[in-house]
Amino acid sequence: MTATSRSPLTQASVRDDVIELAIGQPEPSLLPTLDLAAASASALQKYGTDALGYGAEYGPWPLLEWLSAHLGAIDTRAPATGELLITAGISTALDLIATTVTRHGDVVLVEVPTYHLALGILRDHGGSIEAESTPGRGSTFRIRLPLTRIPV
């Protein structure tokens, strides 16, 4: 099969006979484009130009409040809005975690398959990655990060 681009607006190139898990994007037909358009229109009508700005440090308060309430409804407790952080995406979140939470000698576990940029982000922080694979028993990855904790 040949690789085809999903659209000229995306960076993904997929084969028709493969369910691609490495690109970090959902199947386009699963995206609720009409719901997102309605939500965007509603947010622009309600918040005006504030909806287009960089926003608050931890994320937009209405979203943080909704997310806290939603998590409280589906989980054992609702996190405080100060315990939540909205990022620009998984790469930003991983970099923040690697920078602020880990320290020299920490081991980070990842799933297989994993986010296709995760290992590179961890390497960028000076980490080393070891992998073992045993047929019928699975794979083990050891990722060591020589980081220091940054006071928050």
Residue-level pLDDT at 152: 54
pLDDT per residue as tens digits for the range 71-129: 999 999 999 988 898 888 888 888 888 888 777 677 777 776 677 788 788 778 777 66
| Averaged pLDDT, 17-38 | 79
Beta-bridge partners for 15: 3
Strands (E), 1-150: 3-5, 13-15, 106-108, 128-134, 138-145
Task: Provide the whole-model pTM.
Answer: 0.56
Of 25 and 78, the structure prediction assigns the larger pLDDT to 78
What lies within 8 Å, CB to CB, of 47 at 6+ separation is none
| 48-73 per-position pLDDT tens digit | 999 898 878 888 888 899 999 999 99
Task: Report the DSSP pairing between strands 13-15 and 128-134.
Answer: unpaired
CB 66 within 8 A of CB 73: no
Query: What confidence score (pLDDT) does residue 2 get?
Result: 46
